[in-house]
Amino acid sequence: QVQLVESGGGLVQPGGSLRLSCAASGRLFRLGWYRQAPGKQREFVATMTSGGSTNVADSVMGRFTISRDNAKNTVYLQMNSLKPEDTAVYYCYANSNGVDYWGKGTLVTVSS
């Protein structure tokens, strides 16, 4: 059973930074992040394959950076220049052999 455990969420002021981490229980092909803001649908943020190919949403391009440590089965999301509209629950996502897996989520609140 694949397990994804997120950490690193919290309260930050606009313009600030946070780094999210997600530890996976095994080696998975694609790891990444989605988010769900209050009253909105879950949306794609960024993913990265084990080979290093990345996809990043236009809304966070240039502000968020995804990276992963394959040896640790961990994916990171460095979030800079945070805006109030980035407030959401951020979910770790994984895909392997055509199956999607989700973490329980970590809350990021951007507010002064």
- pLDDT tens digits, one per residue of 4-51: 999 999 999 999 999 999 999 988 899 999 999 999 999 999 999 999
Q: What is the mean pLDDT of residues 84-95?
A: 97
Joined tokens for residue 110? 């951007």
Q: What is the pLDDT of residue 44?
A: 98
Q: What is the mean pLDDT of residues 72-94?
A: 97
Q: 35: closest CA among 73, 100, 91?
A: 91
Joined tokens for residue 64? 């968020």
Q: What is the mean pLDDT of residues 71-85?
A: 97
pLDDT classification of 75: cutoffs 50, 70, 90? very high
Q: What is the pLDDT of residue 109?
A: 98
**pLDDT above 90 (res 106):** yes
Cross-strand partners of 35: 43, 90
Q: What is the pLDDT of residue 26?
A: 83
Q: What is the pLDDT of residue 27?
A: 84
Express each pLDDT in 57-74 by its tens digit: 999 999 999 999 999 999
